[in-house]
Amino acid sequence: MYRHIHGSKGGVLKALRPTLFSILLSAACLQAHATTPVASKQTQVDALFARWNGTDTPGAAVEVVQDGKVVYRRAFGMADIEQGRPITPTTDFHVASVSKQFTALAVLLLAQDGKLSLDDDVRRYVPELPDFGHVIRVRQLLNHTSGLRDQWNLLSMAGWRMEDVITEDDVMGLVRRQRGLNFAPGSEFEYSNTGYTLLGLIVARVSGESLAAFSKQRIFDPLGMKHTFFHERYSTLVPGRAQSYQPSADTGYEGVALSYSVVGPSNLFTTADDLVLWERNFEDARVGGKSLLAQMQTPGKLDDGSALDYGDGLFVEDYRGLRTIGHDGADAGFRSYALRFPDQHLAIVILGNGADVQVNRLGDRIADIFLEGQFKASPAPIPDYADSPEVKLDPKRLDALVGTYALDNGSAITFVRDHDHLIGWTAGDDRMAFYPTGEREFFVKLTNARFSFDAPAADGMSPGGTWQKNARSRRATRIAPAKFTDDERKAMEGEYYSDELHVLYTVSVKDSGVVLHYSRGDIPLAPFGKGSYVGPWPFGLVQFQCPPQGACSGFTATEDRARDIPFTKVVITDAGGTRR
């Protein structure tokens, strides 16, 4: 199954972008045709969430609807660990990109009202959007074929932290500075949160009221979703809301701030009970009508006629041969999942507040339980690496593992030692803590993955290993440390400015690689071919433009959702005219 966590940020480079397959039950169980008793199904689902069913852990609210009836409704863990407040099915969660389908419906309702056309030029409603030399149409915002660089990548490259207060004005300030697209509109699919911020803006300008007010009147109130709303300002109080957490290598869990004040791509607050009402609307079409809802669930197409796996705010895919429609999301420590099997009349809702609550994997497991015997033949079960037993390891042993390794798909993975812990990242992705299950075996709690290092070579360093994520396995080979001549070091070092981001970076060259310094810290880059380097979020691939002789003129930074951001080498002078 080809699904991602679609939250605030971009992912890894395309060469490395992994498919998030499910964790399957045993082959014998999958081929069985006997119906499992409801009580047994509930017990099996309970077991999936047992690790989060404590007073010192975050958790999740989980509901399953089958043939129009709620057949599973449970909650696990704490909405607020510090206050000792448990999660319930009526707890409000920030649901990240699950928000997009509601923004999409708001736009479609306005089109149904005759107030806009999906083929309209976006600049008709948002004239401040730069003229990129191509017409971007409203429908291309809906199905992520606009080519617009993603706002979260742009903000992060510009020096923002994701926990900063981020408003619509902040986003649009960067969008207005852009002079390039990732691709010509309609030629590719690339997930873009920017497009949904623009859609929220279009709803406000066409309807004359905010996206929050319009959605309340036209969607939430008619469906009885009394606890659902777009959270326009981070400071607005929400009684009983779930807080955001992530695993901590030292303390179990720690809080993760989330201060977004922009709506459209994210920032919907809702409950598991309310999302059940929403899922039922796809059956009875109380809001929107059958035709409009069918349109939402129809895959879009590129200009060359090839079909997407995305409709209007919804992924249209399949799981083990059965058609699925839904969306997931991830912001800070929140994880959300709302998926339907329309032909089997089954819907699954998971709202979590811990970054280690792997909602896609858990949702697939729930589907395995409730649709037992209805799937096509399945491959061998995928190991659940997140269930690996953690062991204690002498931190000094980590030194033999640090370094950058080239993956056999053309990307790379880098490991560093952070005090007593091993931290790693694939190109363009977040840094992740790797937890030992043995001397050379490590797993990740935030995603279903592990890395197995080869035995040390004569120099004491591991020469390679195997990176396993869900069903995929990649061989990794250590890249030799960088060696720079004095001329190369001098040519690269200096100040680099991006006008599109309005940010200044300082480049320094160290024996281990290149470091980008900016206002929010340092970004290490590892060598990856002549003039090319790879780094963690928000940078994936960095390519320097350096002549055979003389100083480098600049570099470009590329991550899947924001490609070819230009930086130009500049000379800074102080007030007295001194170069530095």
What Cα–Cα distance (Å) separates residue 399 from each residue in 182, 403, 420, 434, 489? 39, 9, 10, 14, 26
Identify the pLDDT of residue 33.
36
Fold of 486-570: Lipocalin (2.40.128)
Whole-angstrom Cα distance, residue 397 to residue 242?
39
Identify the pLDDT of residue 381.
61
Count helices and strands (H / E) in the chain.
Answer: 13, 31
Identify the pLDDT of residue 511.
74
DSSP H helical segments within 493-541, as ranges?
A: none
Identify the pLDDT of residue 9.
55
One-letter-per-residue 3-state SS of 394-410: CHHHHHHCCEEEEECCC
Q: Which residues pair with 60 in a beta bridge?
A: 76, 352
Q: Exactly one of 8, 22, 97, 411 is catalytic; which is it?
A: 97
Which residues are CB-contacts of 114 (< 8 A; sequence separation ≥ 6)? none
Fold of 27-370: Beta-lactamase (3.40.710)
For domain 386-478, give its CATH number from 3.40.640.10, 2.40.128.50, 3.10.310.70, 1.10.3720.10: 2.40.128.50
Whole-angstrom Cα distance, residue 569 to residue 175?
23
pLDDT in tens, 168-221: 999 999 999 999 999 999 999 999 999 999 999 999 999 999 999 999 999 999
Q: Where in the chain is the domain with CATH 3.40.710.10?
A: 27-370
Which residues are CB-contacts of 197 (< 8 A; sequence separation ≥ 6)? 151, 168, 171, 172, 175, 262, 264, 265
Q: Is 97 in the active site?
A: yes
Identify the pLDDT of residue 146.
98
SS3 label, residue 66: strand
pLDDT in tens, 62-101: 999 999 999 999 999 999 999 999 999 999 999 999 999 9
Q: Where in the chain is the domain with CATH 2.40.128.50?
A: 386-478, 486-570
- Residues in the chain where the model's pLDDT stays below 50: 1-4, 10-34
